[in-house]
């Protein structure tokens, strides 16, 4: 399971069939290039502005001053916090300053949206540090599981870089302090609406944003409506700025109304808005000027065509923070072309923002208004129906992505009817890589799982959780993995599908163990065994027993071997021959760990042969590396070197660089320990092995790279190394 290739025992599926519904459209996903790895990586993550930025020159200058002016030669780390009302323009100011200050941060700019992380199991702070490490080129395999380990690595990785870190929509001071970069000349810029004043005690320079002044507010209207229009109705334009309380979002909505309605004057709109403000005084939107914002949104909403107004309301109920036209179509139960047209109408009214990757997103205040309108005007049961449509849509896409990664994985959900009605974007020309899409949609899929679970849509939740786990087998976002499996297992229990419950609880043991929650992992596995026995499926039982073996590997080799032997028996019963070979490999590793090296060598040799017979060269190479370790434990140095060298060469061909590096380091250790590095030829071989391992670790951002670099430096000083 650890590398995504375990438990791929069968294409067989069990459990109830998920009934197909119409799956509208496809997906809109702009696959971005992965970040460059290594010391020269320069992330560029701060989103660009999608509209003309008006004024705030004084605030920009203040940021320059508080975060270290260019050319000042300051070695301190800048730390600034933008605070203010929702909709006042904090994020836009941060984006504009980041764009303006780009040259001051040659090692890149990192962006973390805390609103997208909020509410996740495992902690949004830990997930945020993980994002920063990924941006700095650290591969998932080398990111520590603990928050303390991640923070330590982040400080190490940022120490020799001059970077800007932007944390958007923070609401707790504790989310910030661990993300201050260490490199001299770096800066941390935070936006938030919460009580962040105590960050001043950590050295932050606070910058409370005020509403736009009259001049800046008029600038927005002039930019959208034209200078002449503002000059012709100057008094009315000033009144509109006043009624919008100087909030940029409200002004953009007002300007959109004026642009799209040729018969509407600024004077008429100001008069209407003033009356609307009084009429909507009871509506509650947070912050100063709340009634004015409510009035602006209320007027814009009232002028929408009925079908656009309905879509607006329903999108307020949509789980997740961003969406594409296909998802909007599913939410409303309409076709994608119709949804695209209506989304255009909402965008023209400034009620909906289009992101640089072609997707759509509500401003937080607008989403709140849309949700309030839905609650007031839509039938109560329609939110559950919308959630079911959207969950089915995401289930189809996630299941297709899962199958695109590996077709022959053990699955419980029976989905042929659902998938036969869905177009597969992952097999289309120029379609998105499935893992990239899953990672980009991770927050939305989690939001769908949560909302569907709250609505009791259990027959959708557990299959989506099962399909979703393919992402985490390759990119181990442990908090998200744990939460998604907990939701899925609970839904499988509610739906009384013991096979699904067994599968999900056994999978859940993996993130729990990686998080150090061993007692909980054991409880989940014990429940999984009982459920698998009740389900009566041999292949599933074999999978659960293998998971239990992996658990006992940490504590009791004898019990681990018992579990592996039982898994092999069940795999044979189910005629899952690849499963037999893989579990045999784990059994041999357990025997070697227990000290029974001769038996381990025999078991591992059998596993290697069976894996090669099934053309699974990647797993066969891992078995060969284990064979090398067993020979080493038996004192058979030459055989150990041959096996480790063969394993490393094959793993390189299979692009399994992490395992290749492990084999190379073990081979170098063995050569040095047995005196092989005393010859020029042996020393050259060790240097070559360690250099290749160093390159792998350095490219992946592993802390092991520093250890190997020091070791290589010492080897260069030895006679015969060429460093004379």
Residues facing residue 17 across a β-bridge: 414
Whole-angstrom Cα distance, residue 45 to residue 356?
12
In this prediction, residue 33 carries a pLDDT of: 39
CB atoms within 10 A of CB 219: 20
In this prediction, residue 74 carries a pLDDT of: 55
- Determine the 3-state secondary structure of 206 from DSSP: strand
pTM of the model: 0.81
Find the range with the poorest average confidence among 250-264, 554-568, 606-620. 250-264
Tokens (6 digits) for 177: 């302090």
In this prediction, residue 194 carries a pLDDT of: 64
| Residues in CB range of 223: below 8 A, 6 or more apart | 52, 54, 255
- Determine the 3-state secondary structure of 212 from DSSP: coil
Whole-angstrom Cα distance, residue 521 to residue 68?
48
In this prediction, residue 119 carries a pLDDT of: 61
Q: How confident is the model at residue 511 (pLDDT cuts 50, 70, 90)?
A: very high
Whole-angstrom Cα distance, residue 369 to residue 354?
18
Whole-angstrom Cα distance, residue 633 to residue 122?
39
Which tens digit of pLDDT belongs to each residue from 576-595? 999 999 999 999 999 999 99
In this prediction, residue 333 carries a pLDDT of: 92
In this prediction, residue 718 carries a pLDDT of: 62
Q: How confident is the model at residue 341 (pLDDT cuts 50, 70, 90)?
A: very high
In this prediction, residue 40 carries a pLDDT of: 53
Q: Nearest 5°: phi and psi at 84?
A: 155, 180
**Is the model's pLDDT at 470 over the cut of 90?**
yes
Mean pLDDT in residue range 192-215: 80
Mean pLDDT in residue range 59-69: 79
Find the range with the poorest average confidence among 311-315, 344-348, 552-556, 719-723. 719-723
Whole-angstrom Cα distance, residue 44 to residue 164?
10
In this prediction, residue 192 carries a pLDDT of: 84
Which tens digit of pLDDT belongs to each residue from 104-151? 899 999 999 888 777 654 457 888 898 899 899 888 888 888 888 899
In this prediction, residue 68 carries a pLDDT of: 67
Whole-angstrom Cα distance, residue 490 to residue 473?
21
Any idea how long the chain is?
Answer: 724
Mean pLDDT in residue range 162-182: 88
In this prediction, residue 147 carries a pLDDT of: 84
**Is the model's pLDDT at 36 over the cut of 60?**
no
**Is the model's pLDDT at 23 over the cut of 60?**
no
Whole-angstrom Cα distance, residue 584 to residue 581?
5
Mean pLDDT in residue range 385-411: 93
Mean pLDDT in residue range 321-330: 91
Which tens digit of pLDDT belongs to each residue from 590-647? 999 999 999 999 999 999 999 999 999 999 999 999 999 999 999 999 999 999 999 9
- Determine the 3-state secondary structure of 191 from DSSP: strand
In this prediction, residue 115 carries a pLDDT of: 80
Most confident of 187-201, 346-360, 525-539: 525-539
Find the range with the poorest average confidence among 244-248, 272-276, 417-421, 616-620. 272-276
| Residues in CB range of 231: below 8 A, 6 or more apart | none
Helices marked H in 280-335: 290-302, 306-316, 325-332
Report the Cα–Cα distance between both ends of the chain, in Å, rounded: 48
In this prediction, residue 586 carries a pLDDT of: 97
The domains of the chain, with CATH numbers, are: 57-208 (3.40.50.300), 589-724 (1.25.40.10)
**Is the model's pLDDT at 230 over the cut of 80?**
yes
**Is the model's pLDDT at 22 over the cut of 70?**
no
Which tens digit of pLDDT belongs to each residue from 269-291? 888 877 765 544 433 334 444 45
CB atoms within 10 A of CB 168: 21
In this prediction, residue 429 carries a pLDDT of: 84
* pLDDT, the chain, mean: 85
């Amino acid at each position: 399971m650890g590398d995504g290739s375990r438990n791929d025992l069968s294409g067989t599926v069990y459990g109830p069939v998920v009934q197909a519904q119409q799956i509208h459209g496809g997906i809109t996903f702009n696959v971005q290039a992965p970040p460059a790895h290594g010391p020269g990586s320069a992330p560029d993550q701060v989103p660009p502005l999608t509209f003309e930025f008006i004024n705030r020159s004084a605030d920009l200058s203040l940021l320059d001053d508080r975060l270290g002016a260019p050319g000042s030669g300051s070695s301190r780390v800048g730390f600034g916090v933008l605070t203010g009302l929702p909709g006042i323009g904090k994020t836009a100011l941060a984006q504009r300053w980041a764009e303006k200050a780009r040259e001051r941060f040659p090692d890149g700019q990192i962006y973390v949206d805390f609103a997208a992380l909020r509410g996740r199991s495992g902690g949004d702070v830990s997930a945020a540090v993980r994002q920063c490490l990924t941006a700095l080129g650290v591969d998932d395999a080398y990111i520590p599981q603990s928050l303390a380990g991640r923070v330590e690595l982040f400080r190490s990785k940022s120490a020799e870089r001059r970077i800007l870190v932007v944390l958007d929509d923070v609401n707790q001071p504790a989310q910030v302090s661990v993300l201050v970069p260490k490199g001299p000349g770096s800066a941390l810029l935070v936006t938030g609406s919460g009580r962040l004043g105590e960050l001043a005690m950590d050295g932050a320079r606070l910058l409370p944003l005020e509403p736009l002044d009259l001049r800046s507010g008029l600038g927005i209207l002039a930019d959208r409506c034209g200078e002449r229009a503002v000059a012709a109705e100057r008094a009315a334009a000033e009144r509109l700025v006043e009624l919008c309380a100087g909030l940029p979002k409200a002004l953009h909505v007002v300007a959109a109304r004026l642009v799209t309605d040729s018969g509407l004057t600024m004077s008429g709109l100001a008069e209407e808005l003033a009356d609307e403000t009084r009429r909507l005084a009871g509506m509650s939107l947070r912050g100063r000027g709340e009634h004015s914002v409510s009035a602006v949104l209320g007027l814009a909403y009232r002028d929408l065509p009925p079908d656009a107004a309905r879509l607006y309301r329903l999108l307020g109920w949509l789980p997740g923070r961003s969406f594409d036209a296909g998802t909007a179509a599913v939410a409303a139960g309409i076709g994608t072309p119709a949804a695209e047209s209506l989304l255009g109408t909402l965008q023209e009214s400034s009620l909906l923002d289009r992101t640089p990757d072609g997707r759509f997103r509500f401003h937080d205040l607008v989403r709140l208004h849309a949700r309030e309108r839905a609650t007031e005007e839509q039938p109560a049961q329609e939110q559950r129906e919308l959630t079911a449509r959207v969950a089915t849509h995401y289930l189809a896409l996630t299941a297709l992505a899962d199958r695109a990664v590996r077709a022959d994985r053990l699955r419980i959900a029976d989905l042929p009817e659902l998938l036969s009605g869905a177009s597969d974007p992952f097999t289309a020309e120029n379609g998105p890589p499935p893992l990239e899409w899953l990672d980009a949609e991770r927050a939305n899929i989690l939001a769908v799982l949560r909302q569907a679970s709250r609505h009791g849509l259990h027959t959708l939740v557990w299959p989506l959780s099962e399909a979703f786990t393919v992402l985490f087998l390759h990119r181990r976002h442990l908090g998200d993995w744990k939460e998604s499996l907990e939701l899925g297992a609970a839904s499988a229990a509610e739906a009384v599908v013991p096979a699904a419950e067994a599968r999900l609880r056994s999978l859940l043991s993996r993130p729990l163990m990686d998080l150090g929650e061993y007692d909980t992992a054991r409880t989940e596995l014990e429940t999984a065994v009982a459920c698998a026995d009740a389900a009566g499926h041999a292949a599933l039982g074999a999978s659960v027993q293998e998971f239990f073996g992996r658990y006992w590997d940490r504590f009791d080799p004898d019990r681990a071997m018992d579990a592996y032997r039982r898994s092999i028996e069940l795999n044979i019963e189910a005629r899952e021959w690849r499963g037999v070979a893989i579990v045999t490999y784990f059994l041999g590793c357990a025997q070697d760990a227990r000290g029974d090296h001769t038996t381990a060598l025999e078991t591992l040799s059998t596993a290697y042969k069976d894996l090669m017979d099934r053309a699974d060269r990647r797993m066969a190479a891992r078995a060969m590396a284990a064979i090398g370790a067993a020979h080493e434990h038996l004192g058979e140095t030459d055989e150990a070197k041959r096996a480790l060298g063969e394993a490393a060469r094959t793993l390189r061909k299979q692009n399994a660089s992490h395992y290749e590096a492990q084999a190379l380091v073990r081979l170098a250790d063995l050569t040095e320990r047995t005196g092989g590095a005393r010859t020029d030829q042996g020393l050259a071989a060790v240097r070559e092995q360690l250099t290749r391992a160093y390159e792998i670790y350095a490219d992946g951002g592993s802390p092991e790279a520093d250890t190997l670099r020091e070791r290589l430096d010492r080897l260069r000083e030895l006679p015969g190394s060429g460093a004379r």
